[in-house]
Amino acid sequence: MRILDALSEGAIIAELNATEKKQVLEELTVPLAKDSGVNHEEMVRVLLEREHLGSTGIGDGIAIPHGKLKSIQSLLMAFGRSRKGVDFEAIDRKPAHLFFLLLAPEDCAGTHLRMLARLSHLLKDATFRERLMSAADAEELYAVIAEEDNDF
């Protein structure tokens, strides 16, 4: 499973304006709602419900907010970066800087879990995280992700 099967360059935000968790989710879902036609508020609601179960801030400056929606047919993904960092209630209590947001169809548990595992595996690599943090813009972020995605 490749990340770029679900992530388009238009869903990459090189510098998030958000300063809190809900704002991150709102900002990242805007391009997904626009491209998919799915209600933006519904996306945010599902993601916040998942966050109430436990933070998706996994530490090392990473968060992978995710959820499931009945109204979509395939995986939707967005990526955002915050150089300042956002308190995402991460397991290590440090701010998150790199956000991969994933929405999956409700009946697609296997695909959803495989993508979460893929992202987690890639993001364990400190060099990959550093390259994402130092990329100049959305185009370069996409290229960094594409390069790692092709190496898998």
- Specify the pLDDT at position 152: 58
The three-state secondary structure class of 89 is coil
Catalytic residue among 66, 97, 112, 121: 66
As beta bridge partners, residue 99 has: 63, 80
The CATH number linked to 142 is 3.40.930.10
Higher pLDDT, 144 or 112: 144
The number of domains in the chain is 1
Residue 56 pLDDT greater than 80, yes or no: yes
Residues 57-112 pLDDT 10s? 999 999 999 999 998 989 999 999 999 999 999 999 999 999 999 999 988 878 88
Query: Active site includes 97?
Result: no
Band of residue 130 on the pLDDT scale cut at 50, 70, 90: very high
pTM: 0.95
Domain that holds residue 25: 3-151
Q: How far apart are CA 39 and CA 52, in angstroms?
A: 21
Q: Strands, DSSP E only, in 3-65?
A: 7-13, 57-59, 62-63
